[in-house]
Copies of this chain bind each other. A is one copy, B any other.
Amino acid sequence: MLVCCANLVCCCASGFCLASCVQGPAPQPAAAVEQQQQQQDGKETKKKDKKDKKAAGLTLGKGCAVVRAHLEKAAAGAAGTLQVIDGGLAAADAVLGGGAGLDAVAGAIAAHEAPAVKLLEDLRVVVEANQARRKPKVAKGARDFLPDQMAIREAAFGTITSVFKRHGAVAIDTPVFELRETLMGKYGEDSKLIYDLADQGGELLSLRYDLTVPFARYVAVNAIGNIKRYHIGKVYRRDQPQLNRGRFREFFQCDFDIAGSYAAMVPDAEVLSVLVEILRDLQLGKFTVKLNHRRLLDAMLAIAGVPPQKFRPICSAIDKLDKEPWEVVRAEMVEEKGLPGDVADTIGQFVMLRGEPRQLLAVLTASEHPLAQHPDSAAALAELSSLFDYLDALGALGPISFDLSLARGLDYYTGVIYEAVLEGGNVGSIAAGGRYDKLVGMFSGKDVPAVGVSIGIERVFAIMEGQARERAAASGTAIRATETQVLVASIGNGMQVKRMEVAAKLWAAGIKAEFGFKPNPKMGDQLGYALEQGIPFMVLFGETELQQGQVKVKDMAAKTEETVALDGLVAELQRLIAAQVAS
């Protein structure tokens, strides 16, 4: 019953969705996908509930009793309801005449909705009373970050942000929701994955799907001519989550983009350099950045004889080449998308081309090569030639692979496109981007050319978490979730206030310190805590030490202990901490 009641509460006020809730999710495609996902996820509570229900016959809980009372009343007043609707339709008819009937329609519907609103209110009370009994959980596809995961996340963000700042980028932020119309028409088929907010009166909002469209909207709204910015934020997709592969419904993207009219390929080279520097600095292992050019791709399809209206569908077939062999992709082109076999075979010869950027460029620009002869691809090849020179100057050409099979899904790219993959990893691409010169213009009517990259940080977290756990296991220590430098400990009873005074002295000097919350902590417990948490120093004292104005300082790694005057404690700890940082 729980599932049923929960759904009922938020059904729209028309009352007519009621049945779909009693039945489980409404028979819309999205709901069906959702249900399928939940089953695939192995969370079959709902299914089990249904089975139990069938076996035991339908048992009515409190919520159902409320529904029953409502329906009984509704049945009794059925004739009245039909009249209301009749009136509503008549009024709607009047609308067609010129709008005079609008008020009548609203009145009829409002009268019709009142009992349903009452029902929902009653159900809300029942559900709220029930909810304390339920096991709390996190929304599907989202996750809590535990303290050691946060420590890793902060380290990753620190590395990434320092590269962004090294390149003189500014930070910006945008709201987590946008007007729905801002996101509409930007993501093609994937629009169905956008989370909408409920219509609670006022604007229609959706959660952002990526950071690129909000960035373009930001550039347009704030009338920005040029900007080099980074943005780290959560984005939302109602996709099939695969938690073990780092695929979530709420996840972070780290974006770096350069917008503005500049010398060709110079910003593109810097964006790629930023990507390469980040992947190097994160030390995730060997990686490759596959690179292609949209206009080269289009020219290639034109040369092969693909009609222009099939460019995008054929591109999306090509996009599968990193997962499927050529035979499967060829079959899709010929059987599903109706390409003649010889056209597909020509494409097949192109997309097998990949390799060291300048070598492949030399092959493609040789005067007899069809790509050198087609005006569009010739221009693209000239751009790539400059790009490779710039990347070489920036020391970022090494990991680049010029790869004619790279297609990228999104429609808005207009120039260079790229995608980074880890070698030997089974995590798919961890970053991707390209040039999109027309997106800002979709908002402001005035194009601001732009190029950027988006790093899918969840997969990076997963890898770094594995590395951190390995390191911790090898060294026999835990992953540190705090930065505490000193534990203030005491011997004997009644020292709570003294521990607090010493800790406050350290805090005032900027030293990161903790003290025990128990009134009379045991020495063994305090030592154990410091070791377990990896706290490098302890300050220790009892009644005797304090009377002499002294404390002991324990270096946990060196296993040494010294007596220090209370007056000199801060200076001594600062010396020890500095020495530790330096070593």
Contact = CB atoms under 8 A, between A and B. Distances in A.
Given A88-B19, A105-B22, A507-B166, A202 B31 contact: yes
8 contacts: A10-B180, A23-B102, A68-B95, A81-B89, A136-B182, A143-B175, A168-B483, A168-B514
A35 interface: yes
Contacts of A98: 57-58
A170 B150 contact: yes
Number of copies: 2
Interface stretch (A218-226, A407-415, A423-431): A218-226
A88 to B, nearest CB: 7
A27 B173 CA distance: 35
A25 B444 contact: no
A519 B147 contact: no
Contact of A9 (B22, B26, B204): B204
A349 to B, nearest CB: 34
A85 B85 CA distance: 10
Interface string A179-203: 1111011000000000111111111
A504 interface: yes
Nearest to A196: B198
A31 B128 contact: no
Interface stretch (A263-271, A305-313, A329-337): A263-271
B31 A200 contact: yes
Contact of A181 (B6, B99, B179): B6
A579 interface: no
Contacts of A200: 30-31, 34, 195-196, 238
A442 B136 CA distance: 10
Given A197-B197, A481-B170, A512-B168, A19 B109 contact: yes
A322 B110 CA distance: 41
A142 interface: yes
A504 to B, nearest CB: 5
A92 interface: yes
Given A136-B444, A204-B9, A146 B512 contact: no
Interface in A144-161: 144-147, 150-151, 153-154
